[in-house]
Structure 1
């Protein structure tokens, strides 16, 4: 296998037509994982929590590839259920995650939610929309290093 060989195909959503398989080369996967690693300051001393689906490019790169590159533990839940995820946050103390704003909204509105669930995070990113200031204030005691929507 070479750097320019296809590592995997991810499928587009089809918003402009039929979904298409996007070819991701090994070079692309490694480079993008390095960008994420540097962007969120991921290191061996922190765990990554996989909120984004692993079939999506965000989950593949932002969770799996980064955890393999660093290396850092990758914490997963069988499916996204807010209470299960909050319990996993408390148990595993992850430092980074990236996910859809709808997932973060569900966590903030889950029974038993407290700011302590997010205390270990140093970087949290949302996709699809920015995390607005009221939920940020409600969930983090101290500002995370970054709490925004990625533009890349």
Structure 2
């Protein structure tokens, strides 16, 4: 006796299989995104340097405000690409992108008031990204702990 061939009307697997939430997967995913961000900074920084030199605006890289935004963009582009590879939808990618920019935007105020220097902006911007990312991930634990 032969096995019937599946058709559109006879599914071969259940439509939704619940995944077990895993702290290890959640942490691994977090670390993968941090690595992707570092790769983005290293790989895209020279592209910005060349492009800004070509248009006569190399000073934008040394300006603390635009420099921080360029760096956040480098990290966001690479991290977003990795998240798409991992199968994430656009909304969680946008939320994670916001986590890259928000610390810098908040720190622009004390920088403008002279309360912190450029080094502190970059240091604390990167440090605060990590809890901002974790917060974005905790908004959707199943999104990050089950893949």
TM range (shorter): under 0.3
Which structure shows the higher helix fraction? Answer: 2
Greater CA radius of gyration, 1 or 2? Answer: 2
Which structure shows the higher strand fraction? Answer: 1
Bigger RCO of structures 1 and 2 (CA < 8 A, at least 6 apart): 2
State the TM-score, normalized to the length of structure 1: 0.23
